[in-house]
Amino acid sequence: MAGQRVFPLSCVVQHYAWGKMGSSSEVARLLASNDPLAQIAEDKPYAELWMGTHPRGDAKILDNHISQKTLGQWIAENQDCLGSKVKDTFDGKLPFLFKVLSVETALSIQAHPNKELAEKLHLQAPQHYPDANHKPEMAIALTSFQGLCGFRPVEEILTFLKKVPEFQFLIGDAASTQLRQSTSIDAQAVASALRNCFSQLMKSEKKVVVEQLNLLVKRVSQQVSAGNNMEDICGELLLQLHQQYPGDIGCFAIYFLNLLTLKPGEAMFLEANVPHAYVKGDCVECMACSDNTVRAGLTPKFIDVPTLCEMLSYTPTPSKDRLFLPTQSQEDPYLFIYDPPVPDFTIMKMEVPGSVTEYKVLALDSASILLMVEGTVTASTPTAQAAISLQRGGVLFIGANESVSLKLTVPEDLLMFRACCLL
C-alpha cells in the first residue's frame, strides 16, 4: 500500500564482547518476548539492539504490503515521512539511531567531538573518525544502570589524592598542588589544573601505571578479604574494572569521574566533550548518527589520548547534576519527554496504566520509532490496512503526522519509549 507510513520493524542485534550473555541480557529478553521462536544462545553476548537506518544495522520492514526493503531504503524513497523540517535539516535522512544496550563489561573511557572537531578529525584520520558529524547521546535506565560521567567536584578528587597514594604518585606533587590551590582562585584556574592532572595520568608511562595499579589492587584486595569496607576509595569498582581490563589506565579514571547509578527511568545526557563510560546495566540509548568516538582506556580499540585530553570539558559538577530530568507533557499525563539541547533527537517515555483501554500516541511532525518494553496492544492507524499486534520487544516505525491508536489487549501496564526529532 503506497500510503502506508506506520509498520513494525525487525531490528539488528550486535553481539559485542562487552554485552550481557544470553537471557541475562535485556536485549535478548526483548527479542524472545517479541518472537517466541527466537533462539537465544546462552553462550553469546547480546550487547545492542539497533532501531534505525545505520549502514551497519539497517532495520527491516515487517509488512506484507511493502516490498522487502530496509527502513533506510524505504525512507530514501519516501522522504516526506520524516516531516518537512527534519527532511530539510538532515538532508532527507533519519537523524538518530535508537538502541537498547545490555552492558556486562565496562565500555571505554571516551568522549565525542562537537561538529567542528569531528570535521577536523575526519579529515586528519578518516580510518579512526569515519564521518564529520557530532555524536551526542542519551541513556535512560531500564534496570539499575551504572556509568561514569563528567568530572567530579574538585574536593572529591583531592580526597582521593590523599587516600590513594598510587593515584597521587601518577599525578605527581606539582599537578596535585596546582589543583589544591586552584580552588581559591576561579573556575578557569580549576579547569586548567584539572586538565593538567588528568593529562598527567593519561600520559603516564604504561610500565609505571601497571606497577601502581598492581600495588593498589593488592592493597584493596587484602583489605576486602579482611572484611574491611573500601567504598571510600571505590574499592569494589576498582577490582571489577581491573579484572575486566588488567593494567589499564582507565581503572584510575574512576577517581576523576562521577559514578552514577541510575534507577529505571533516570537518564544521563552525554554532550560533546564530556568524558564518560558505561559500567554495567541495561538502558535505552539515542544518539546522533555518527561513529566518532575518542577513547583513552578500558577498551581494546584505538586510543587517542592527546585528542581526548585536548578536547574535554574540564568543568567539575556533582553527580546529581549529571542526571537529566524529563518534563511531563501538558497534553498527556502518561508522557514524559527527555529533550536534550541538540536538534538530532528527543526521547519520550510513556507509562500507561492497565486500566486504560485505549491510548492515543501523540502525532508529531517527525518520523519516530516506538519500542514496547512492557504490555500488549494492537495498533491501528488510518494508513495501515490492518491492525498491527505489538507486544514486549515490538518496534514500530511511525511516519510524521501519523495518528496511532493503541488498544490494550491485556489489562497490564504499558511501558514504551519513542525516539523522534522535535525541531
Active site residues: 295
CB atoms within 10 A of CB 162: 11
**Cα–Cα distance between 64 and 88 in angstroms, integer?**
30
In whole angstroms, how large is the CA radius of gyration of the chain? 23
Reduced to 3 states, what is the DSSP secondary structure of residue 232?
A: helix
Output the nine-digit C-alpha cell for 312: 574535554
**Cα–Cα distance between 14 and 52 in angstroms, integer?**
13
What residues contact residue 322 under an 8 Å CB cut-off, 6+ apart? 149, 150, 258, 260, 268
**Cα–Cα distance between 275 and 194 in angstroms, integer?**
13
Reduced to 3 states, what is the DSSP secondary structure of residue 136?
A: coil
**Cα–Cα distance between 334 and 293 in angstroms, integer?**
35
Output the nine-digit C-alpha cell for 136: 551526542
**Cα–Cα distance between 262 and 283 in angstroms, integer?**
10
